[in-house]
Amino acid sequence: MEKFYPFAVFFAASRVNVEEFLSEEEEEPLPQEFVLIEKTEPDGTVEEILFSSGGDIDVYDLQALCDKVGWPRRSLSKLAAALKNSYMVATLHSVRKSPGSEGNDQKKLIGMARATSDHAFNATIWDALVDPGYQGQGLGKALVEKLIRALLQRDIGNISLFADSQVVEFYQNLGFEPDPEGIKGMFWYPKY
């Protein structure tokens, strides 16, 4: 049985400032995959951080990432079902290219966020996470902002999420508000 954690805070961004996320030069749809950051190390190794909204993700890689951030283990079949039934899955991958090793690129999942939706008005962001070795570089912010942009481009403007108490400030800095306009998240948990 899955373990439930009733300490999440419900946030809603029903008053998302669309202009903040969709400036005139960004009205074109996000490409399905693009390089977010590129770094070259002293030995010539190039690391690219790729953003993708294609949803192509290996559940074993996701389980390993969840382990790294300290999340409770979930069954692989439920992870696969959650990914399959999501409206949108956004990922961050690190791709390392060493000089002289063409074709032997090392690709590693370092971030993921997903959204469920009614495909018309509402979406909820779930499971936003970034590998601890890559945290503090703005990647989580970029991942969530790109996901929000993609949802807004599909005319979905009521976006909510659930946040553990230690990341509330992170989401508030992205424009999410706890209980906007008196909206309250309601929870039902099994009593066994």
Q: Are 130 and 139 in contact (CB under 8 A)?
A: yes
Decide if 53 contacts 30 (C-beta within 8 A). Answer: yes
Rg of the chain, C-alpha, whole Å: 18
Residue with tokens 């956004």: 90
- Say which of 5, 171, 189, 192 is annotated catalytic: 171
Phi, psi (rounded to 5 degrees) for 36 = -85, -45
171 is catalytic: yes
Contact 171, 16 (CB under 8 A): no
Tokens of 190: 């099994």
In angstroms, the CA 21 to CA 178 distance is 20
Spatial separation of the C-alpha atoms in residues 179 and 73, rounded to whole Å: 29
Q: What residues are annotated to the active site?
A: 171
